[in-house]
C-alpha cells in the first residue's frame, strides 16, 4: 500500500509539472532578416526569448542570422527536407516555387493590416495557405504584420512613367510584375544584398520596406529620392515556416506556446511599425533625402497595370486564380463595413 501510494503521488506530481527534461525540444530557426534590423529583425530575434519564457526552457527555438545555416532563398527546401527545423521570413520569398504564395505576404493596392488579417484568419485565406504548405510537408503561421511600406529608393528623380523604361530595380512580390509592365527590369535580392547592389550600380533603384528599416540598411547613403506611398504593400505579413513532421511531433503544449508567441509577435510588429516611422522620416530628411509622393495619375496607371497582372497570372495558374477569387470575394463582402465604419 505504501508503494502504491508513493507511485500515485509521483504520478500526480509528474502530471502537474512542466514537460520533463526528456521532453525538451531544441529547434534551429534561421531568419531572413538580420537581428539588428528594425522591426523585421528585432521581432524574429525577440521570438526566441518569448518562447523561452513561455516554455520555461522546455522548448528552445534558436535564432540564426540570415545565411548562417543555408542561403536565404534555399531555406524553403531546407525546412521541407527537415535539414532545418524552421525559418522566419515571408511567403513571398518562395514565389519562384509557388507564385500564389505572394498573396499571403502582401497585395498591390490591397487592404490595411486589419482587413488583410481578417481575410487570412476568417475569410478563407488561411485554409488555402495551410493546404499549399501541407502539400510540401510544411506548416506555416503568420507571425508578423507591418504597416505600409515605402515605394522605393531611386538614384534619380522619376519625372514621368517613361523613366521606368530600362530601370534596374529590386522589387518584391506581385508589385514587381506591375513595375515590369512599365519597362523596368526587376529582380528579387535578399536584404543583405540590396545596399551593395545600389552602391555598385548593379541596380538603379530598390524598394525594401519602411523608413525605419530602410534607414538601418543605409539606402540613404547611395540614393536620395524616397517615394511613397507603398502601393504594392499597404500591409505585409511574415511567417514562421516549420517542417510539418516536426510540428506534428510537438506536444499540444508546445504547439500552443508557438501559436501564442506568434500572436504576441504579430501585435508587437504592427504596433512597433506604426510607432517609429515618423522619427526615421525626419532623420532621413536631415540627411538630405527628398521624400516624394506619387501623383494620383501615376498611381492610377499602376493600379491599371495591376489589374492586367491579375488577369494574366490567373489565366496561367489555377492556384493563383483560386487565391485571388477568395481574396476578391472577401473584399467585396467586407466593403460595406469598410465604407461605413471608417473615415476616408
Q: Is the backbone peptide bond immediately before 229 cis, with ω within 30 degrees of 0? A: yes
**pLDDT surpasses 90 at 21:** no
With cut-offs at 50, 70 and 90, classify the pLDDT of residue 80: very high
Q: Domain segments of the chain: what residues? A: 24-147+234-344
Angle between helices 318-341 and 296-316 (to 10 degrees): 140
**pLDDT surpasses 60 at 61:** yes
pLDDT in tens, 228-259: 999 999 999 999 999 999 999 999 999 999 99
pLDDT in tens, 177-218: 999 999 999 998 888 899 999 999 999 999 999 999 999 999
Q: Left if phi > 0, otherwise alpha if psi is -120 to 50, otherwise beta: which for 24?
A: beta
Q: How many CB atoms lie within 10 A of CB 110?
A: 20
How many helices and strands, by DSSP H and E, does the chain display?
Answer: 13, 11
Give the closest residue to 172 by CA, choosing from 109, 95, 112. 95
Is this model's pTM higher than 0.85 or not? Answer: yes
- Mean pLDDT of all residues in 116-127: 97
- The pLDDT, as a whole number, for residue 254 is 98
- The pLDDT, as a whole number, for residue 11 is 37
**pLDDT surpasses 50 at 4:** no
What percent of the chain shows pLDDT beyond 90?
89
Angle between helices 318-341 and 113-122 (to 10 degrees): 130
**pLDDT surpasses 80 at 17:** no
Q: If you average pLDDT over every residue of the chain, what do you get?
A: 92
- Mean pLDDT of all residues in 54-83: 96
- The pLDDT, as a whole number, for residue 13 is 39
- Mean pLDDT of all residues in 78-88: 98
What percent of the chain shows pLDDT beyond 70?
94
State how far Cα 206 lies from the chain centre.
17
With cut-offs at 50, 70 and 90, classify the pLDDT of residue 310: very high
What topology does CATH give the domain 24-147+234-344?
D-Maltodextrin-Binding Protein; domain 2 (3.40.190)
Amino acid at each position: 500500500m505504501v508503494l502504491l501510494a508513493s507511485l500515485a503521488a509521483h504520478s500526480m506530481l509528474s502530471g502537474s509539472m512542466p514537460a520533463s527534461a526528456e521532453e525538451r525540444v531544441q529547434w534551429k530557426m534561421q531568419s531572413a532578416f538580420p537581428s539588428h534590423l528594425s522591426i523585421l529583425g528585432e521581432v524574429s530575434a525577440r521570438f526566441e526569448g518569448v518562447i523561452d519564457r513561455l516554455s520555461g526552457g522546455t522548448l528552445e527555438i534558436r535564432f540564426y542570422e540570415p545565411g548562417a545555416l543555408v542561403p536565404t532563398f534555399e531555406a524553403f527546401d531546407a525546412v521541407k527536407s527537415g535539414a532545418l527545423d524552421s525559418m522566419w521570413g515571408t511567403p513571398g520569398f518562395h514565389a519562384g516555387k509557388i507564385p500564389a504564395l505572394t498573396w499571403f505576404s502582401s497585395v498591390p493596392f490591397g487592404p490595411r493590416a486589419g482587413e488583410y488579417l481578417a481575410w487570412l484568419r476568417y475569410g478563407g485565406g488561411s485554409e488555402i495557405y495551410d493546404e499549399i504548405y501541407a502539400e510540401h510537408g510544411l506548416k506555416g503561421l503568420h507571425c508578423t504584420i507591418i504597416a505600409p511600406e515605402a515605394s522605393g529608393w531611386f538614384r534619380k528623380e522619376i519625372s514621368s512613367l517613361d523613366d521606368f523604361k530600362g530601370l534596374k530595380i529590386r522589387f518584391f512580390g506581385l508589385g514587381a510584375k506591375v513595375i515590369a509592365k512599365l519597362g523596368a527590369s526587376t529582380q528579387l535580392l535578399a536584404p543583405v544584398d540590396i545596399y551593395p547592389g545600389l552602391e555598385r550600380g548593379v541596380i538603379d533603384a530598390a524598394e525594401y520596406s519602411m523608413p525605419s528599416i530602410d534607414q538601418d540598411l543605409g539606402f540613404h547613403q547611395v540614393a536620395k529620392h524616397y517615394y511613397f506611398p507603398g502601393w504594392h504593400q499597404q500591409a505585409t505579413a511574415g511567417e514562421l515556416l516549420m517542417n510539418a513532421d516536426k510540428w506534428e511531433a510537438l506536444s499540444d503544449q508546445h504547439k500552443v506556446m508557438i501559436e501564442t508567441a506568434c500572436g504576441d509577435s504579430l501585435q508587437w510588429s504592427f504596433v512597433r511599425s506604426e510607432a517609429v516611422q515618423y522619427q526615421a522620416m525626419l532623420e532621413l530628411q536631415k540627411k538630405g533625402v527628398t521624400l516624394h509622393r506619387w501623383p494620383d495619375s501615376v498611381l492610377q496607371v499602376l493600379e491599371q497595370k495591376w489589374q492586367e497582372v491579375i488577369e494574366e497570372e490567373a489565366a496561367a495558374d489555377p492556384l493563383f486564380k483560386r487565391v485571388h477569387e477568395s481574396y476578391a470575394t472577401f473584399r467585396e463582402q467586407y466593403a460595406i463595413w469598410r465604407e461605413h465604419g471608417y473615415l476616408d
